[in-house]
Structure 1
Amino acid sequence: MRWLIYVAVAGPSLVLAGIGLSHPQELTADTARWWTNMHIILIPVFPLLAVAQWLLLRGTPAGLPGVLAWGARIAGWIYLGFYGALDTLAGIGTGWLVQNGVHSGGGHHGMAMDRDPVLNRLFEIGNDLGYVGAYAFVAASLLTSAVLVMRAGPKAIAGGVVLVAGSVAFSQWHIYWPRGVASQLAIAIGFALLAWSLDGVRRAVPAAG
């Protein structure tokens, strides 16, 4: 049943990559319905990235690895809350307003002069909160990778490097095609490689860490 671990840790990123292929590049009256519905679909999916890290960290022994593991878990928890706020405000909120007649102007990043000020404000606060969550995810990926390198040795390095690189790209490009989609594919590969690195490693008895 080891394959279930690979599905659990890599599956969410693959789903996000697939959804990202259809992510509208701009919020307009024509794309507003899918923009809204897509971000509703994403509500239960984004948190699974942190769950994947927690699965990889399960059974971490006490001591230094335990401290780092708990840092990774806490960073993942911060990601959960703040990135969810981005999804709700800049995704569902803005899409719903445009569906109900608020002028969308053009674009989705930063301020748009021809866009309703309410949308600008929602994008602004949503992006600010989203960056907190995204950078927390980068921190969680770094700490998770460090713990698994300590636990599994050099065979975990490749997975850690790919995971961190994908996490940094995710922090800048969300899941937009093409870079955001590529970031999710990298995260999926990184998670899978880290899970592979744990194969054959004697599972320690779970402790305070």
Structure 2
Amino acid sequence: MGHRLSDRLLFWLTLVIAPIVLVSIQLFHPANFTRDPGMFAFLCVEQPYKPEHMALAYFGPRWWVTLHVIQLPMIGLVSVGLWRLMAPIEGGVAGGLAWLARIATFAFLIFYTALDSIGGIGLGRSILNVESMRTSGAMTADEAAGAIKLLNADWVDPLTGGIGSVISLGGSWAIFIAAVSAALALVLTRRAPWPAALLLVGFGWEIQVAHASPHGPIGFSLLLAAALWIWASDRATRTRAMDTAAIAT
């Protein structure tokens, strides 16, 4: 971790503030609605808390769009933070692991940008447009039924769908690989204590499972805890080094 003011600010922005924002919004990211009542039927209206859907509440399709608009740059910031954690690590086994973490982090960023753009912002806007056209009479009942059928099919598309697709699973496994590789590289170079590394692995696993509630909030809370532990450990190491230097002089 760099010691310059800009490095410290970037660390706090990417690995502390961004995870806090993600935890906060993903508490309101529902899950388990694809089969019952169905994607469109669930997302097109506000929903109260229901244990089977995990989120504290869901505020309707405008929130679905807003949630993913906020999430996009936050995921970008987290990716920058993970990349920067690997910055000083080069050469040997640790260096190879650091590069694997960098590559997997980049893949995570690409996949999740696509996922949130298609299954988040794009889908949410499509739901709003269908509802608006249906209400205004610009779309007949049959046309609306066809549009809803298409959007439900898009949601489970094997390449670009919101669940179980190439972009969804690709991003999920990429962040798990990135987290495990980064944790190993940090431990091997003694840049992080092993409990913090385990928290980092836990973050990767939770986001691999899902970024909706409860896994998203749990995962990014683990990332936040790991980052703060690494920061505290690095600060303690520098303090000891300065004390040793002062005694030596």
TM superposition score category, shorter chain reference: 0.7 to 0.9
Q: CA deviation at 1:157?
A: 1.0
Selected match of 1:32 from 46, 61, 66: 61
The range that moved more, 27-36 or 140-149, is 27-36
- Letter paired with 2:175: F
The alignment status of 1:43 with 2:85, answered yes or no, reads no
- CA offset digits 1:115-135 (Å, max 9, x no partner): 923222332223311220111
Q: CA deviation at 1:7?
A: 4.5
Give the structure with higher Rg (CA).
2
- Once the two structures are superposed, the pairs formed by residues 110-149 of structure 1 within 5 Å of their partners are 116-124=148-156, 125-126=160-161, 127=163, 128=165, 129-149=167-187
Mapped contact 2:180–2:204 kept (Cα < 8 A): no
SS class of match (2:223): helix
Mapped contact 2:130–2:147 kept (Cα < 8 A): no
Structure with the bigger percentage of helix: 2
The alignment status of 1:188 with 2:188, answered yes or no, reads no
Q: CA deviation at 1:3?
A: 5.6
Partners of 1:146 and 1:115 in 2: CA distance: 48
Partners of 2:173 and 2:204 in 1: CA distance: 8
Give the direction of change, closer, same or farther, for the CA distance of 1:90–1:8 in structure 2 (3 Å limit): closer
Partners of 1:18 and 1:12 in 2: CA distance: 10
Partners of 1:186 and 1:97 in 2: CA distance: 34
Q: CA deviation at 1:97?
A: 1.1
Selected match of 1:21 from 24, 27, 33: 27
Selected match of 1:165 from 202, 221, 227: 202
- CA offset digits 1:102-158 (Å, max 9, x no partner): 69xxxxxxxxxx9923222332223311220111011000010001001117x5211
Give the direction of change, closer, same or farther, for the CA distance of 1:175–1:52 in structure 2 (3 Å limit): farther
- Letter paired with 1:145: A
Selected match of 1:68 from 77, 85, 97: 97
Partners of 1:115 and 1:169 in 2: CA distance: 34
Structure 1's unaligned 5+ residue stretches are 104-113, 203-209
Residue matched to 1:81? 110
Partners of 2:227 and 2:169 in 1: CA distance: 22
The percent of aligned pairs where both chains have the same amino acid is: 27
Q: TM-score, normalised by structure 2?
A: 0.68
Alignment: residue pair count: 190
RMSD (Å) for aligned C-alpha atoms: 2.6
